[in-house]
Amino acid sequence: MKPDDIIRMAEEAGFPICVGFFGEMMGTFANLVAAHEREACASVAESYEPTCDTCPSGVANAIRARGKNHG
């Protein structure tokens, strides 16, 4: 997730936009929420057929890999 995305979503949610420490905390929080959601999505994909190397597990791995590129 890019910093501009976090700021835009915070504004949409009605948060007062601050720079500095609070802004960094908000970015950290947003990335934690995104990581939790990625893992939840990956777990759902794996639950369909956890022994398949190319189907749901491949999708799950692709979902988890997004965190390496997007925070």
pLDDT of amino acid 50: 57
Residues 22-53 have pLDDT tens digits of: 677 877 888 888 889 888 888 877 776 656 65
pLDDT of amino acid 25: 80
pLDDT of amino acid 21: 64
Q: What pTM was estimated for this model as a whole?
A: 0.61
Dist. CA 10–CA 7, nearest whole Å: 5
